Amino acid sequence: MSKIDFYTNVADPQEFACRLADTVQRKKERLLIWLDSERSLDVFSNRLWSFGDTRFVPHCRLEAAEAAETPVWLAATLPDDLAHPVLLNLGPNLPYAFERFTRILEIVGRDPASLATARERFRAYRERGCEIEHHDMSQMQT
């Protein structure tokens, strides 16, 4: 069963997503980041290339030729046949067949819409028997 990590009260979800991606890849884990559109994918990709003053998060599109050698993949759609260790869900919905992922990372902003979406996802994961861990990021400096 998948383990779900909710990071709540995040001041800047996109910046936090970059830091989370950096942490996962430095732990030598492979990460798939799911975004809601090709435009969002391009914007987030640019953020990963310029993350921090002196570092970046190596990544590519899931379908790229270099994907096998790259620790972080970006996708605007989830393929039916992919099983992957870690998914960072920046998409609009609960991932279908999420059991394919060992771990799913959910980032929740401070706005009412993000909180409402997170509550729905939390319930859905819990109803399916997932192990859920909550990380309150309200005290984190941005």
Q: What is the pLDDT of residues 19-37, one digit of tens each?
A: 999 999 999 999 999 999 9
What is the structure's pLDDT at 140? 75
Say which CATH superfamily domain 3-136 falls into.
DNA polymerase III subunit chi (3.40.50.10110)
pTM: 0.92
Max Cα separation, the chain?
43
Q: Where are the domains of the chain?
A: 3-136
Check if the beta carbon of residue 37 is closer than 8 Å to that of residue 92. Answer: no
Q: pLDDT-based confidence at 141, cuts 50/70/90?
A: low
**Residue listed under structure tokens 């998060």:** 57
Which are the contacts of 57, defined by CB distance < 8 A and separation ≥ 6? 18, 21, 22, 25, 48, 49, 51, 72
Phi, psi of 62 (to 5 degrees): -55, -40
What is the structure's pLDDT at 17? 96
- As given in the structure block, the two tokens for residue 138 are 């309200």
pLDDT in tens, 45-102: 999 988 777 778 899 999 999 999 999 999 998 888 876 789 999 988 898 888 889 9
Q: Is 55 helix (H, G, I), strand (E, B) or coil?
A: coil
